[in-house]
Amino acid sequence: MNYEEKLEKINTIVNSPMREFKPDALMAIVARIEKKHPKSKGVYERMKNIIPGGVEHNLAFNFPYPIASKRVYDCFMETVDGVQLLDYLMCGGPIILGHNYTPLIEKMINVIKDTGPCHGITCDYEYLAAEAIQRYFPSCELIRWYQSGTEADMAAIRVARTYTKNKWIIKIGGSYHGWSDQLTYDMHVPGTKLVESHGIPKNVFKFVDSVYPNDIEALRKSFKEKKNKVAAVILEPLGGESGAIPVHPQFNKDVEELCRETGALLIFDEVVCAFRLVKGGGQEYFNIKPDISVFGKIIGHGFPSAAAIGGRRDVISVVAGGIAGGAKKAYTGGTLAANPLTCAAAYHAIDFIEKENAVERAGKAAKRLSDGLNKVFQEHDLPWFSYNHGAIVHFHTSCVFGLDITDPKQAPSLKERKEFMGHLGAALIDQEIISVAGSRFYTCMKHTDEIIDQTVEKIEKICEYVE
């Protein structure tokens, strides 16, 4: 599906009344969940006493209450109630070999036995894993490890400012780059600016700006207003929220050109794209050489504390470790960063991803799923639609991300459209499927044709509930 087709379909959805489930169908879904998942409800009740809101995983669905997992394997999640879900959450992205992929787990058990989780200084896995990343990301002449995508994004903008001596950071509206103070800005729905920025003093955003997705003229204008004193443009190569807001095929190239003209750095947030879109992420896909790349998630294949930035030698050099002694360095750190466990996981996971052709297999599954979904949506005369990029499948139903919040006709529907994604998440759980936030599926190499076809059949049943 090309860019224009996606836009047309998004416009149809956001300019029409939202398609909801029949009230009795929704009530029946909730009743079935209550019956089938009593232990999850018990977990939630207990969680509420000690964990704020009873849930802390942003990407899972929470209606009517969150489901608790007992174990995961291959492409399945078994809940505490013993229900086996088809898993398309994939831990929010990091899993491409399948959960608990035995050869990786065995390697990791040996690493734990040998080194324990952490020893605070360098080990062989640190450079081996960095070299493995570099094989697929040749733009990364130097690589530095961090502990989460949020932290790596935060480091990336600090490096850009230190290197260029400029202050402005420009992001693309609707994109997600973690929740650090300065990047909790204009997230999810383009134009929402400070909507999610509670607890952050406004002056933190003095040198942060955003422009509407795909609007290169707005970006040029923003550069001009700032007299080109821009440290970096940071973007998700596929478009905001991993491609939920489709990127124009020319946009990344245009941004690259603008950065080259002005001396601003180009930061590609590859947290989702690396080893999921294609092995070499957004930069391989769009044939672009960013100055800084940000990695997270899949880089440790789900093992904790996994993230990194990489890029041009002269740029990334400003983040060298040790006490700076007055040298102009971007100060960053991390007690658990580059621990042997994370680096070993990165090194071995990349090795297994290569040997198993994992990204290609997961991508094939994603395409089959997205094609299947489009077929059933059409058969049920729904305006809903799906597309995939590599092993990332989007399916737009209420299409929150497509809303233009400056349009007085569209903006008021934001709440009900968001709520519907919760209803859809529940309908998926009812069909024993877990998705990413009711609008995305991540596939892995264990999603066979048979499993994908089963999934499509289940989603067809959900279409029958629509009014």
Ligand X SMILES: Cc1ncc(COP(=O)(O)O)c(C=O)c1O
Distance of alpha carbon 464 from alpha carbon 467, whole angstroms: 8
**Mask: binding to ligand X, 225-244, rule CB under 6 A, as x and -?**
-----------x-----x--
- Residues in the interface with ligand X (CB under 6 A) total 14
Q: Whose CA is closest to 388, among 411, 365, 407, 410?
A: 365
Segment contacting ligand X (CB under 6 A): 83-91, 142-150, 390-398, 448-456?
Answer: 142-150
- List the interface residues with ligand X, window 281-320 (CB under 6 A): 296-297
- Nearest approach in angstroms of CB 398 to ligand X is 21
Q: Whose CA is closest to 55, among 45, 82, 95?
A: 45
First to last CA, the chain: 27
Which residue is closest to ligand X by CB? 149
Distance of alpha carbon 190 from alpha carbon 159, whole angstroms: 26
390 near ligand X, judged by CB under 6 A: no
- Which of 262/293 has CB closer to ligand X? 293
- Which of 41/297 has CB closer to ligand X? 297
- Which of 176/420 has CB closer to ligand X? 176
> How many Cα atoms within 13 Å fall on the side-chain side of residue 45?
6
CB burial of residue 106 (10 Å; 0-12, 13-18, 19+):
exposed
Structure tokens at 414: 């934001």
- Nearest approach in angstroms of CB 29 to ligand X is 27
- Nearest approach in angstroms of CB 255 to ligand X is 16
- Which of 172/258 has CB closer to ligand X? 172
186 near ligand X, judged by CB under 6 A: no
Q: Whose CA is closest to 390, among 437, 433, 353?
A: 353
- Nearest approach in angstroms of CB 435 to ligand X is 15
Segment contacting ligand X (CB under 6 A): 98-106, 174-182, 189-197, 258-266?
Answer: 174-182
- Which of 33/437 has CB closer to ligand X? 437
Cβ(111)–Cβ(340) below 8 Å: yes
Distance of alpha carbon 93 from alpha carbon 297, whole angstroms: 7
- Which of 280/296 has CB closer to ligand X? 296
- Nearest approach in angstroms of CB 58 to ligand X is 8
Among the listed residues 6, 99, 144, 177, the single contact to ligand X using CB under 6 A: 177
Distance of alpha carbon 151 from alpha carbon 307, whole angstroms: 8
Among the listed residues 153, 209, 256, 284, the single contact to ligand X using CB under 6 A: 153
- Nearest approach in angstroms of CB 247 to ligand X is 13
Segment contacting ligand X (CB under 6 A): 114-122, 184-192, 267-275, 435-443?
Answer: 267-275
69 near ligand X, judged by CB under 6 A: no
388 near ligand X, judged by CB under 6 A: no
* 32 residue type, one letter: R
- Nearest approach in angstroms of CB 141 to ligand X is 22
Among the listed residues 271, 315, 369, 436, the single contact to ligand X using CB under 6 A: 271
* 88 residue type, one letter: Y
Q: Whose CA is closest to 392, among 434, 443, 428?
A: 443
Q: How far is CA 27 from CA 4, 33, 453, in A?
A: 37, 10, 27
Q: Give every CB contact of residue 59 below 8 A, 6+ residues apart in sequence.
A: 89, 92, 436, 437
Among the listed residues 219, 230, 231, 272, the single contact to ligand X using CB under 6 A: 272
149 near ligand X, judged by CB under 6 A: yes
252 near ligand X, judged by CB under 6 A: no
- Which of 150/339 has CB closer to ligand X? 150
334 near ligand X, judged by CB under 6 A: no
Mapping DSSP onto H, E and C, the string for 93-110 reads CCCCCCECCHHHHHHHHH
Segment contacting ligand X (CB under 6 A): 127-135, 175-183, 187-195, 211-219?
Answer: 175-183
Q: Give every CB contact of residue 113 below 8 A, 6+ residues apart in sequence.
A: none
CB burial of residue 102 (10 Å; 0-12, 13-18, 19+):
exposed
Distance of alpha carbon 440 from alpha carbon 272, whole angstroms: 12
Q: Give every CB contact of residue 32 below 8 A, 6+ residues apart in sequence.
A: 430
Sites of contact with ligand X (CB under 6 A): 148-150, 153, 176-178, 236, 242, 269, 271-272, 296-297
